[in-house]
Structure 1
Amino acid sequence: MSILAIVISLLLLMFLAYRGISVLLLAPLMACLAVLLSGDMAFLLPIYTDTFMRALGNYVIQFFPLFLLGALFGQLMADSGAAQSIANGIVKKLGTHHVVLTVVMACAVLTYGGVSLFVVAFAIYPISRELFRSANVPKRLIPASIALGSFTFTMTALPGTPAIQNAIPIPYFETNSFAAPGLGIIAGLIMLGLGTFYLQSRVNKAASKGEGYGHHTEREVTTGEDDTPTAQMPLSLALIPLVMVIGLNALFTYGVFPAMDLSFISDAFENVSPSGQTGLWAILIALLSASAWLIITRWKHWQDLKATVNQGCLGSLLPIFNTASEVGYGAVIASLAGFAIIRDTVLSASPGNPLISEALAMSVLAGITGSSSGGLSIALETLGSEYLAMAQEAGIDPELMHRVATLAAGGMDTLPHSGAVITLLAICGLTHRQSYANVAIVTIALPVVALISVITLGTLFGSF
Structure 2
Amino acid sequence: MGLLGILLALAFLIWLAYRGWSVLLLAPVAALLAALISGEPLLAHWTQTFMGAGADFIGQFFPLFLLGAVFGKVMEDSGSVRAIAEWLTRRLGAGHAILAVVLAGAALTYGGVSLFVALFVLAPMAEALFQRADIPRRLMPPAIALGTFTFTMMALPGTPAIQNAIPMPFFGTTPFAAPGLGIIASVIMLGFGLWWLGRASRIARARNERFSDDRIQGVDDTILRERAVTAREFDPAETAHGHQSVELPPLAIAALPLFAVIAVNLAMSLVILPRLDFAWLSEPRWGVAGIGAVSGVWSVAVALTAAIVTAVVLNRSRLPRLRETLDAGANASVLPIFAVASLVGFGAVVAALPAFAVVRDWVLSIGGGPLVSLAVATNILAALTGSASGGLTIALDALGATYLQRATEVGIDPQLLHRVAVMSAGTLDSLPHSGAVVTLLSVCGVSARQSYLDIVMVAIVGALLALVVVIALGVLVGSF
- Interval containing the TM-score (normalised by the shorter chain): over 0.9
Asked if structure 2 preserves the Cα contact closer than 8 Å seen for 1:230 and 1:303, the reply is: no
- Shift of the alpha carbon at 1:160? 0.1
- Residue 427 of structure 1 aligns with which residue? 443
- Shift of the alpha carbon at 1:218? 8.4
Equivalent of 2:428 in 403, 409, 412 = 412
CA distance in 2, matches of 1:60, 1:115: 21
Larger deviation: 102-111 or 424-433?
424-433
CA distance in 2, matches of 1:217, 1:124: 16
Q: Secondary structure at the match of 1:300?
A: helix
- Shift of the alpha carbon at 1:300? 2.2
Q: Which runs of 5+ in 1 are unaligned?
A: none
1:30-429 superposed matches below 5 A:
30-40=30-40, 43-217=41-215, 223-225=239-241, 229-267=245-283, 269-350=286-367, 353-429=369-445
- Shift of the alpha carbon at 1:215? 3.8
Percent identical among aligned pairs is 48
CA distance in 1, matches of 2:153, 2:162: 8
Cα distance change of structure 1 residues 305 and 34 upon mapping to structure 2, 3 Å threshold: same
Q: Deviations over 1:355-403 (max 9, x none)?
A: 0000011000000000000000100011110010011001000000000
> Which amino acid in the other structure matches residue 26 of structure 1?
L
Asked if structure 1 preserves the Cα contact closer than 8 Å seen for 2:245 and 2:318, the reply is: no
Equivalent of 2:453 in 433, 437, 453 = 437
CA distance in 2, matches of 1:228, 1:119: 12
- Shift of the alpha carbon at 1:228? 5.1
> Which amino acid in the other structure matches residue 317 of structure 1?
V
- Shift of the alpha carbon at 1:269? 2.1
> Which amino acid in the other structure matches residue 289 of structure 1?
A
| Pair 1:462-2:473 in alignment | no
> Which amino acid in the other structure matches residue 355 of structure 1?
L
> Which amino acid in the other structure matches residue 364 of structure 1?
I
> Which amino acid in the other structure matches residue 208 of structure 2?
G
Asked if structure 1 preserves the Cα contact closer than 8 Å seen for 2:13 and 2:30, the reply is: yes
Larger deviation: 63-72 or 426-435?
426-435
CA distance in 2, matches of 1:461, 1:228: 49
CA distance in 1, matches of 2:387, 2:168: 18
CA distance in 2, matches of 1:201, 1:19: 35
Larger deviation: 185-194 or 419-428?
419-428
- Shift of the alpha carbon at 1:224? 3.2
Q: Deviations over 1:408-433 (max 9, x none)?
A: 00001011111111111111122211
- Shift of the alpha carbon at 1:319? 1.1
Cα distance change of structure 1 residues 453 and 26 upon mapping to structure 2, 3 Å threshold: same
Asked if structure 2 preserves the Cα contact closer than 8 Å seen for 1:15 and 1:417, the reply is: no
Q: Secondary structure at the match of 1:416?
A: coil
Larger deviation: 240-249 or 299-308?
299-308
- Shift of the alpha carbon at 1:21? 1.3
Cα distance change of structure 1 residues 270 and 32 upon mapping to structure 2, 3 Å threshold: closer
- Shift of the alpha carbon at 1:217? 4.2
Q: Deviations over 1:235-272 (max 9, x none)?
A: 01111111110110000111111111111232352422
- Residue 20 of structure 1 aligns with which residue? 20
What's the RMSD between the two structures over aligned residues? 1.6
Q: Which runs of 5+ in 2 are unaligned?
A: 222-236
- Shift of the alpha carbon at 1:330? 0.2
Asked if structure 1 preserves the Cα contact closer than 8 Å seen for 2:378 and 2:425, the reply is: yes
- Shift of the alpha carbon at 1:219? 9.1
- Shift of the alpha carbon at 1:227? 6.8
Cα distance change of structure 1 residues 217 and 370 upon mapping to structure 2, 3 Å threshold: closer
Q: Secondary structure at the match of 2:318?
A: coil
- Residue 228 of structure 2 aligns with which residue? none
- Residue 469 of structure 2 aligns with which residue? 453
Return the TM-score normalized by structure 2: 0.94
- Shift of the alpha carbon at 1:187? 0.5
CA distance in 2, matches of 1:187, 1:232: 34
Asked if structure 1 preserves the Cα contact closer than 8 Å seen for 2:111 and 2:259, the reply is: yes
Larger deviation: 213-222 or 329-338?
213-222
> Which amino acid in the other structure matches residue 25 of structure 1?
L
How many pairs align?
461
CA distance in 1, matches of 2:217, 2:12: 34
